[in-house]
Amino acid sequence: MTNKEILIVGAGLAGVSTAWALRQRGHAVTVLDAHDQAACGTSFANAGALTPSEPEPWNAPGVHWQLLKSLPDPHSAMKLRLKPLPGLIPWGLRFLANSTRKRYEAACHANFALARHSLACTRAARETADIAYDCLQRGTLKVCSTRAPMEERARMGEMLRSEGLRLDVLDREQTVAKEPLLASVADRIAGSIFYPDDESGDARAFTRGLAAAAERDGVRFEWSSPITELADRGGRIVGVRTEREEIEVEHVVLATGHMSWRLLQPHGLHLPVRPVKGYSLTLDMSGLDTRPGLPVVDESRHTIATPMGDRLRIAGTAEFAGLDPALREERVDNLRQLLKDLYPDIAPQLLAGEQAPWTGFRPMSADGRPFIGETRAKGLWLITGHGHLGWTQAMGSGDLLAALISGETPPVPAEPFSAARF
């Protein structure tokens, strides 16, 4: 392997994970970011869930009905807003075209393979770099109010069991035994699915810890350095331009999330990745005598409550709102209501304390799989489009991309994630 000079644009989870994996292989790596430190975008306050157990893309069969029903409902778990709809139509048609059962299940298999590899990479980096990020290795509990979603989740689980997914189907009593704080709402629970291999933690703390370790190992970070365009020479990307300078390198990696398409468009590359807003609410648990012991997912609301040390983070919902950055109170109210419904015994005390609401844009691909690899423009590589699996797949995606750049055999099949497929 010949060591290469590589420039990564973006210091979120995807960019820092890629920088780490490339530097571990001996490459010269520079990371540019528009902010003054790592993880200031989508990685800032996400759900904190590392869940290979949830490889399903959001464009599941029947998703069009969910989106239509969301139009008059401000509290819908998956919300489509009318204002950005004209700009979403080409992407949306691809999104719906990929919601057939066959394509949906193919995406599940590919995503699970990448997510499982990613969790192994995350564990290895945690040990090597000695990163503290409120990590929990207690699995995830997916709670269902009726039998139908339990049966569907169990069916999906059986489809992936031979590939390494472990799960336990629990009845009501077993669910409460797993998370005793659910006892007061047991009559609303039909049962749950427990995934013992899932983990959780603070993605921002992990990203910043990994960036610090990568910097110690020789990765160069340049902060407050937004790029204006890619430098193209005869169809090959040879670097980037900032407001101050042009930087030439052998390879450029775009880890710029949902904004990647703006940099690609002038070069005839039309990336089917669009922003889908997610929300989180972080609450102070330091005064509680009894705390949740593991992440709990509410299947009907597509939301999760994740313990992070002295904090509890409630996160989820999907809002197709274009680039509108508004933090809408009714969406945050969804998360408060989840807390009240899931943990009525501790909700009043938590909601009386400090609350930190947040919203961010997930980069969502139209076919439910991330883009990882070299584009049709030589010298330009992509790592984006992970949607709700960004934290789960970050380290594995970075490792896969580093292997491809290095000319190694990919650690997981690379074809489903090809960046040249658009």
Domains in the chain (CATH in brackets) are: 5-134+199-276+362-417 (3.50.50.60)
**DSSP state at residue 378:** B
Strand ordering across the sheet containing 246-248: 227-233, 236-242, 246-248
- Which two tokens mark 292? 């949740």
Give the model's pLDDT for residue 321. 82
Grade residue 342 by pLDDT with cuts at 50, 70 and 90: very high
- Is the pLDDT at 336 greater than 60? The verdict is yes
- Is the pLDDT at 319 greater than 90? The verdict is no
Grade residue 76 by pLDDT with cuts at 50, 70 and 90: low
- Is the pLDDT at 71 greater than 70? The verdict is no
Grade residue 31 by pLDDT with cuts at 50, 70 and 90: very high
C-beta neighbour count of 103 within 10 angstroms: 17
The DSSP secondary structure of 313-368, one letter per residue, reads EEEEEEEE-TT-----HHHHHHHHHHHHHH-TTTHHHHHHS-EEEEEEEEEEETTS
- Is the pLDDT at 70 greater than 60? The verdict is no
- Which two tokens mark 296? 């709990």
- Is the pLDDT at 293 greater than 60? The verdict is yes
What is each CA distance from 219 to 16, 124, 172, 257, in whole angstroms?
10, 19, 50, 21
- Average pLDDT (285-293) is 96
- Is the pLDDT at 66 greater than 90? The verdict is no
- Is the pLDDT at 325 greater than 60? The verdict is yes
Residue with tokens 């709402």: 185
List of long-range contacts for 169-177, beta carbons under 8 Å, 24+ apart: 169/193, 170/141, 170/194, 175/141, 175/143
Grade residue 152 by pLDDT with cuts at 50, 70 and 90: confident
Give the model's pLDDT for residue 218. 98
Give the model's pLDDT for residue 72. 55
Could you tell me which of 304, 275, 301, 306 has the C-alpha nearest to residue 291?
A: 306
Q: How far apart are CA 295 and CA 307, in angstroms?
A: 6
Give the model's pLDDT for residue 296. 98
Least confident of 33-37, 56-60, 103-107, 120-124: 56-60
Give the model's pLDDT for residue 295. 98
Give the model's pLDDT for residue 36. 97
- Is the pLDDT at 68 greater than 70? The verdict is no
The DSSP secondary structure of 160-192, one letter per residue, reads HHTTT---EEE-HHHHHHH-GGGGGGGGG--EE
Give the model's pLDDT for residue 87. 66
- Which two tokens mark 67? 């989106």
Grade residue 64 by pLDDT with cuts at 50, 70 and 90: low
What residues form DSSP beta bridges with 239?
Answer: 231, 248
Q: 225 Cβ partners below 8 Å, 6+ apart?
A: 32, 33, 34, 242, 244
Q: How far apart are CA 120 and CA 395, in angstroms?
A: 9
Give the model's pLDDT for residue 264. 94
Grade residue 85 by pLDDT with cuts at 50, 70 and 90: low
Q: How far apart are CA 78 and CA 57, in angstroms?
A: 13
Give the model's pLDDT for residue 290. 95
- Which two tokens mark 332? 């945050």
Give the model's pLDDT for residue 323. 86
What are the tens digits of pLDDT across the range 232-263? Answer: 998 899 999 998 889 999 999 999 998 998 89
- Is the pLDDT at 375 greater than 80? The verdict is yes
pTM beyond 0.75, yes or no:
yes
Q: How far apart are CA 245 and CA 11, in angstroms?
A: 19
- Average pLDDT (92-100) is 87
- Which two tokens mark 365? 């691909």
Share of the chain above pLDDT 70, in %: 94
Mean pLDDT of the chain: 92
Grade residue 318 by pLDDT with cuts at 50, 70 and 90: confident
Least confident of 206-210, 270-274, 400-404: 270-274
The count of residues in the chain is 422
Across 179-293, the runs of DSSP E, i.e. the strands, are 191-195, 199-200, 220-222, 227-233, 236-242, 246-248, 251-254, 273-284
